[in-house]
């Protein structure tokens, strides 16, 4: 009987981690406008992919871009909330951390936009 208890505890912790992750996504969606915008654009990109009958490779690229963008927005929120928790007053290093996290989102957003153009423009105008 003792051998079953650790497995149950491990399984419980494993599934609880999914609940925590879902709570983080829900919190970010509820409170972060940029995450909401990226979710909306992701839905548009998926709808466009269905409409234009993307190839399997094009879908892989689009899905990686969507997941990467949403993941970076979640990490940006984590950095911002952590910095805010540690320091309420203005500190140059806190600003630098928040700006760098936001910059990573911007870099990936630009890449996503460019690759989106590469994939969708030929289908729109071709």
d(CA 82, CA 87): 9
pLDDT at 88: 84
d(CA 1, CA 99): 53
73-117 pLDDT per residue, tens: 999 999 999 999 998 899 999 999 999 999 999 999 999 999 999
The first and second tokens of residue 58, run together, are 């094009």
Residue 91's SS3 state is: coil
Decide if 35 contacts 28 (C-beta within 8 A).
yes
Taking the CA atoms of residue 60, residue 40, residue 24 and residue 72 in that order, the dihedral angle to the nearest 10 degrees is 50
The first and second tokens of residue 73, run together, are 């927005």
Catalytic residue positions, numbered: 73
Per-residue CA distances from 21 to 6, 15, 30, 43, 77 (Å)? 23, 10, 14, 21, 13
6-54 pLDDT per residue, tens: 566 888 999 999 999 999 999 999 999 999 999 999 999 999 999 999 9
Please determine, for residue 5, whether its predicted confidence score (pLDDT) is greater than 90.
Answer: no
Taking the CA atoms of residue 93, residue 70, residue 68 and residue 54 in that order, the dihedral angle to the nearest 10 degrees is -150
């Amino acid at each position: 009987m003792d051998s079953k208890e650790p497995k149950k505890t491990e399984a419980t912790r494993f599934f609880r981690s999914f609940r925590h992750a879902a709570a983080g996504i829900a919190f970010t969606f509820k409170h972060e406008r940029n995450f909401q915008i990226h979710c909306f654009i992701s839905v548009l990109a998926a709808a466009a992919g269905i409409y234009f009958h993307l190839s399997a490779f094009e879908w892989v690229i689009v899905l990686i871009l969507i997941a990467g963008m949403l993941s970076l927005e979640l990490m940006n929120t984590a950095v911002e909330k952590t910095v805010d928790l540690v320091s309420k007053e203005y500190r140059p290093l806190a600003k630098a951390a928040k700006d760098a996290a936001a910059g990573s989102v911007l870099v990936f957003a630009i890449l996503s936009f460019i690759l989106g153009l590469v994939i969708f423009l030929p289908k729109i105008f071709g």
